[in-house]
């Protein structure tokens, strides 16, 4: 995909502009100067051009003389403002699982962002790979790397310090903000932005949850499950496991069967005895939950696709047209 075609969630420029308010800047003015329209920012299904994000950073850098503006914009921001990504991280059991989910969903946030997680004996590396370099380079690099570390600290509820933080630019004359925020040895002129953690950090439990978002999604799932089955059948067990595993992309029959203590073949046999199949249970569960999720205006259509375990939103669109004869977006509009 060409750089100029890449997009990001509409929440991201809002997240950045509101963070810049700490410098006395008007977020709405910053967004207008960068070329964002109010209509696109208020649409939960909208995605915005990466080129506009570059302009937003340029506007902020022009108005804030502090070269550490990127990491300062990220300081004190709340992760749940990033929607699905925040939800999937908070749903995780350990930091390693959370980071793997972040890697899976990172390009939902911005298509130029690829997160790579590597564990090497007693070290774990979390690298932010990019399709191109921003201009100016430093603010968005600092923003992304510190937002990552800040998010880790929030969900862990502990002041975790990396072993190292790597930055892909020459060492600045003043590193006071770097040292205050990262609290670890700093490495400059690196190949890519990267946090180096202890390998054992990946096994630490996630301490937080989003009771509002997680609570209503759990209620939606339970409503769908109860409507689809009124007994404690094998199909009912499959539905319970599906909701736990789908957001992580683990809706395969092998994963579900293992969670139920069965082989894939045994699970299919038991479902056949109940007059159904794994494919039919998965399809009906997704269909029922999709309608409820689309009624939630703060969850974008493409986020619904990933919550339902689709690796590609286009596959969800095709399935939804098969179920209802119209697109998910048209369905949503007709309900409001």
206 contacts: CB under 8 Å, gap ≥ 6? 89, 90, 92, 93, 94, 95, 97, 98, 155, 156
List, in order, residues 6 or more apart from 156 with CB less than 8 Å away: 95, 204, 206, 207, 208
Averaged pLDDT in 10-residue chunks for the chain of 336 residues: 70 92 95 92 83 93 93 80 68 85 81 89 90 68 94 89 95 96 96 95 81 56 53 79 73 87 92 93 88 79 82 87 91 80
CATH 3.90.1520.10 domain residues, the chain = 3-203
List where CATH 1.10.10.60 sits in the chain.
Answer: 211-334
CATH number of this structure's domain 3-203: 3.90.1520.10
CB 98 within 8 A of CB 92: yes
Distances (CA, A) of 88 to 29, 101, 176, 320, 332: 32, 7, 33, 23, 23
What is the signed CA dihedral for 160, 164, 165, 168, rounded to 10 degrees? -170
- Under DSSP, is residue 167 helix (H, G, I), strand (E, B) or coil? strand
User: Can you name the residues that pair with 48 across neighbouring β-strands?
Assistant: 8
Q: What is the pLDDT of residue 228?
A: 47
> pLDDT value at position 35?
95
Q: In what order do the strands lie in the sheet with 194-198?
A: 113-120, 123-130, 194-198, 164-167, 186-188
Per-residue confidence (pLDDT) for residue 304, from 0 to 100: 85
CA 226 to chain CA centroid, Å, is 29
Query: DSSP class of residue 94?
Result: B
Q: What is the DSSP string of 193-218?
A: -EEEEEGGGGGSBP----HHHHHHHH
CATH architecture of the region 211-334 = Orthogonal Bundle (1.10)
């Amino acid at each position: 995909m060409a750089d100029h075609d890449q997009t990001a969630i509409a929440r991201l420029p809002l997240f950045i502009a509101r963070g810049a308010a700490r410098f006395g800047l008007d977020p709405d003015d910053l967004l207008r100067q960068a070329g964002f329209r109010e209509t696109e920012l208020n649409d939960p299904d909208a995605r915005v051009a990466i080129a506009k994000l570059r302009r937003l950073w340029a506007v902020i850098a022009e108005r804030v003389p502090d070269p550490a503006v990127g990491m300062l914009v990220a300081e004190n921001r709340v992760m749940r403002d990033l929607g699905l990504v925040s939800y999937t991280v908070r749903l995780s059991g350990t930091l390693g699982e959370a980071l793997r989910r972040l890697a899976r969903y990172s390009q939902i946030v911005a298509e130029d962002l690829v997160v790579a997680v590597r564990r090497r004996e007693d070290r774990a590396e979390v690298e932010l790979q990019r399709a191109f370099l921003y201009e100016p380079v430093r603010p968005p690099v600092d923003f992304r790397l510190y937002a990552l570390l800040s998010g880790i600290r929030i969900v862990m509820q502990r002041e975790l310090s990396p072993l190292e933080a790597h930055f892909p630019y020459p060492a600045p004359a003043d590193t006071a903000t770097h040292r205050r925020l990262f609290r670890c040895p700093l490495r400059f002129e690196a190949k890519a932005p990267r946090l180096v953690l202890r390998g054992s950090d990946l096994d630490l439990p996630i301490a937080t949850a989003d009771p509002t978002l997680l609570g209503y999604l759990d209620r939606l799932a339970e409503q769908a499950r109860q409507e689809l089955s009124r007994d404690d059948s094998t199909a009912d067990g499959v539905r319970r496991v599906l909701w736990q595993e789908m957001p992580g992309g683990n809706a395969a029959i092998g994963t579900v069967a293992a969670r139920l203590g069965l082989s894939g073949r045994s699970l299919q046999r038991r479902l056949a005895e109940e007059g159904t199949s794994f494919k039919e249970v998965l399809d009906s569960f997704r269909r029922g939950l999709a309608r409820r999720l689309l009624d939630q205006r703060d969850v974008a259509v493409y986020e619904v696709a990933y919550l339902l375990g689709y690796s590609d939103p286009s596959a969800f669109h095709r399935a939804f047209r098969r179920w209802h004869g119209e697109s998910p977006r048209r369905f949503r509009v007709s309900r409001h």
